[in-house]
């Protein structure tokens, strides 16, 4: 299992557009990918789950990848988060 923490830098937090892009990216990988914020963990491949986190600017989220191709998944998602959120 791979795990990384990121701080949301987008002033709007995780809103619809980047959440949709994150879900689309996560769906490209066969491994299990979750996002955690304030103790709530959701499936990163489900838009409603990601949106329900309500992550705001300045808050930390944790991405966990477990399974096949987890190394590539965590690196790709990490780049996306750093560039877009």
Residue-by-residue DSSP string for 6-56: EE--STT-S-HHHHHHHHHHHTTSSSEEEEEETTEEEETT-HHHHHHT---
Range of the domain at 52: 2-84
The CATH number that applies at residue 16 is 3.30.1340.10
Q: Which of the following is catalytic: 2, 15, 46, 56?
A: 15
What are the tens digits of pLDDT across the range 20-75? 999 999 999 999 999 999 999 999 999 999 999 999 999 999 999 999 999 999 99
Domain count for the chain, please give it.
Answer: 1
Closest among 60, 23, 61, 68 to 43, alpha carbons compared: 23
Report the C-alpha gap between 19 and 54 in whole angstroms: 10
pTM of the model: 0.91
pLDDT band at 85 (very low <50, low <70, confident <90, very high): confident
* Residues 6 or more apart whose Cβ sits within 8 Å of residue 28: none
**Active-site residue flag, 13:** no
CA dist 3 and 33 (Å) reads 10
């Amino acid at each position: 299992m791979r795990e990384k923490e990121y701080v949301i830098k987008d002033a709007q937090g995780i809103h619809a557009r980047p959440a949709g892009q994150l879900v689309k990216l996560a769906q490209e990988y066969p491994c299990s990918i979750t996002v955690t914020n304030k103790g709530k963990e959701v499936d990163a491949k489900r838009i409603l789950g990601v949106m329900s986190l309500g992550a705001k600017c300045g808050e930390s989220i944790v991405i966990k990848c477990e399974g096949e191709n987890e190394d590539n998944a965590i690196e790709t998602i990490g780049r996306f988060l750093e560039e877009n959120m």
